[in-house]
Structure 1
Amino acid sequence: MNSRIKTLLMTAAILAAMPAHAEDKPLIGLVSIAATEANNVRYINGAKKAAEELGYDVSVVDAAGSADQANAAIQNFAQRSAFAIVDLVFPASSIGAGLDAAKQANIPVVTWGGGLGLSVAATNGSGAPIAEPVIKKMIDDMGGKGELLALTYRTGEVCRNRETLMDKMLESHADIKVTKNEVRIPGYFEDGAQYANAWLASHPPGAGKLAIWGCWDDPAIGAIGSLRSQARDDVMVYGVNGNAQAIENIKNGHMIATAWEDSYTEGYNMVKLLADIKKAGADWKPHAVEVPAVLITRDTVEDFLKQHPDTVQ
């Protein structure tokens, strides 16, 4: 099948998956890397709440980890004369075709975790700043030595930046030996469990400080399943994003720490910003609108839940 036919078929599939929207309402197109993943869901819900308040209609496309599908979705939103488009996690460098189509149609594109670049108007949810407190705690807990399994994902800008930060922070800790495995979307729970099983086979109890880190919570949660099935309580587990399962695992003693990303507020704030971006037009200066992360540990989880009880509902 040639590339032109493949693109046409993909475009048709994206259009078929897109729900109709009210013609009298401005359309906000959300293109998600994994629309059922907990943090994506929170962001989408925040975006929908802001859209409801502003009288916008929202259409969500799940690109299922595919940059090709993301580009096709953005191009179709451009053809539909969307008011604005929100890219969830795909790096700007991987959605160039979509960004070009939106630019030609004078439609602003903002990113969540996709970074600034090309014609992106604004970004938030940047990966590295959110992960930093968790990585620091992990290194401290390991005492600067031991064996680490890192569950990565390089298609997404967020995980790519978190992995780069981890590498940089580990440069001064040569006694921490790192094994890296890249998970898939979809399939991250299963991959986390599978890679943990293989890694545990060569890292028996008593082999020194052992830790597993997920560039977001879900692969680490998959690994916890393997640890529990093997009755291994000697491995420290760390995640990032602070989804409900991660918080419950910290509360129950199966995970050491995560960083809660208030993605609901990130989605809400970004959609609220769109009218300003449109109004400013060519005078708009691209910038980041970050929401700080909160480190959650076994020592702080109870207080966190008192302040944010909705995070595990």
Structure 2
Amino acid sequence: MTFKSSILGLAVVALSTMTAQADEGLSLEGKRIGVAVVGTQHFWDREAFNGATSTVEKLGGEVVPVDGGRDNQVHADNHDVLLTSGVDAVISILGDGAVEPKFQALKSAGIPVFTVDHPSPHAVNNTTSDNYYMGTTIGRYMADAIGGEGKVAVFNAFENALRICGIRTGLWKYVLQDYPGIEIIQPELAEEFANAPEDARKQTLDLLSQYPEGTIDAIHVGCWDQPAIGVVQALEETGRTDIIVTALDGGPDTLEIMAEDGSPFVANVAQQPNLIGSTAAMNVARHFAGETLLPQTYVDVVPVNGAEEAKAAYSSLGYGSLE
């Protein structure tokens, strides 16, 4: 474990400790809190949902959960269900623009909305990672890993659909402007959400058939990291592991791949989705306690550059040990 990784691990632990100390005395006793999540198939979404619901319950509140099944319109319509369910507040996790009129209706009915990874003018507060930092950091890591020049393919299905994806990919591209020797291959690739690893594996195999060995240097996944699993599989199948892979989210499955000897998956930025969901629930309690909240609450991320830092992050984030 590197000194840098050790410090990162201690920082995560310290943040959790300070948060717990600061939250003593908060309560949601007697409150019914709706928790709407876009879906629970993906690790990040599921962990954010679990963090929010478990914290509401720990604070004495009653959870009214709704799951969109990864359908953005179903997720939006679930807010209508919460509107008529007599909830005192709503925590809404992810989603696209279809949720905005639902948030407005809840606000008009006197039901405060708290969002996760979805800034909205109708929300009291949005809890999120610093997506600007994530995008710039992964851009620097990727550029440095290929020596500041080469051809790069990007999976970028959601830049224009989801604000957080637009920020992350937009800042990645912004950083690359400082590296005139790096060329983004066109057209950009668009991954499917459903069964993303297998979809990305097939698209990567097709990409490699078009670019012979030595003509492509990196593959980046612009908003998350599940497609990167399939990208790595395709590189290993074809023996093209000289091509590096970078992505964002840093869940346990992708950190495990990064920690393997000789893995082409070299950089990531790990989030803390459970803590993000928990913090959103704490913000609901703070609101009812009369505190004034800032529009955005940022939860620390853990940059991961290389196998040793992947092992350190895996441990510090509570996933176990890869040593």
Report the TM-score when normalising by structure 1. Answer: 0.83
Q: Of 92, 98, 103, which residue of structure 1 is paired with 2:102?
A: 98
C-alpha displacement at 1:302, in angstroms? Answer: 3.0
Higher relative CO (Cα under 8 Å, sequence separation at least 6) belongs to 2
1:11-50 per-residue CA deviation (whole Å, 9 max, x = no partner) reads xxxxxxxxxxxxx953322222331201112211211221
Decide whether the 8 Å contact of 1:46 with 1:265 is kept in 2.
yes
What SS is found at the alignment partner of 1:82? coil
Cross-structure match for 1:227: 235
Q: How many residues align?
A: 286
Q: How has the CA–CA distance of structure 1 residues 306 and 218 changed in structure 2, closer, same or farther, with 3 Å as cutoff?
A: closer
| Contact kept in structure 2, 1:33 and 1:88, CA below 8 Å | yes
SS in structure 2 opposite 1:181? coil
Assess, with a 3 A threshold, how the Cα gap between structure 1 residues 212 and 52 changes in structure 2: closer, same or farther.
same
Q: Does 1:243 align with 2:247?
A: no
Alpha-carbon distance change, 47 to 285 in structure 1, aligned in 2, over 3 angstroms: closer
Within 5 Å, which residues of 2 pair with 1:57-72? 57-72=62-77
Over aligned residue pairs, what C-alpha RMSD do you find? 2.4
**Residue number among 135, 141, 146 corresponding to 1:137 in the alignment:** 141
Q: Match for residue 55 of structure 1?
A: 60
Q: Cα deviation per residue 1:186-230 (whole Å; 9 max; x = unaligned)? A: 232233222212211122222253333342110111211222222
Does the aligned pair in 2 maintain the 1:30–1:59 contact within 8 Å? yes
The corresponding residue for 1:119 is 122
Name stretches of at least 5 consecutive residues in structure 2 with no aligned partner. Answer: 1-28
Q: What one-letter code is carried by the residue in structure 1 that aligns with 2:312?
A: D
Q: Distance in 1 between matches of 2:154 and 2:69?
A: 22
Give the TM-score taking structure 2 as reference length.
Answer: 0.80
Retained in 2: the 8 A contact 1:75–1:97? Answer: no
- The ranges of structure 1 where at least 4 consecutive aligned residues each deviate by more than 6 angstroms after the TM superposition are none
Superposed counterparts of 1:26-37, under 5 Å: 26-37=31-42
Query: In the alignment, which of 203, 210, 214 is matched to residue 206 of structure 1?
Result: 214
Secondary structure in 1 matching 2:319: helix
Distance 1:105 1:135 in 2: 43
Q: Does 1:187 align with 2:195?
A: yes
Is 1:175 the equivalent of 2:178? no
Distance 1:72 1:305, change over 3 A: closer
Separation in structure 1 between the aligned mates of residue 264 and residue 30 of structure 2, nearest angstrom: 46
Q: Distance in 2 between matches of 1:273 and 1:210?
A: 40
Aligned-pair identity (%): 19
1:272-291 equivalences in 2 (<5 Å)? 272-280=282-290, 284=292, 286-291=294-299
User: Match of 1:73?
Assistant: 78
C-alpha deviation, 1:276, in angstroms = 2.2
* 1:130–1:240 contact (8 Å) kept in structure 2: yes
Instruction: Please say if residues 35 and 53 of structure 2, whose CA atoms lie closer than 8 Å, have aligned partners that are also in contact.
Output: no
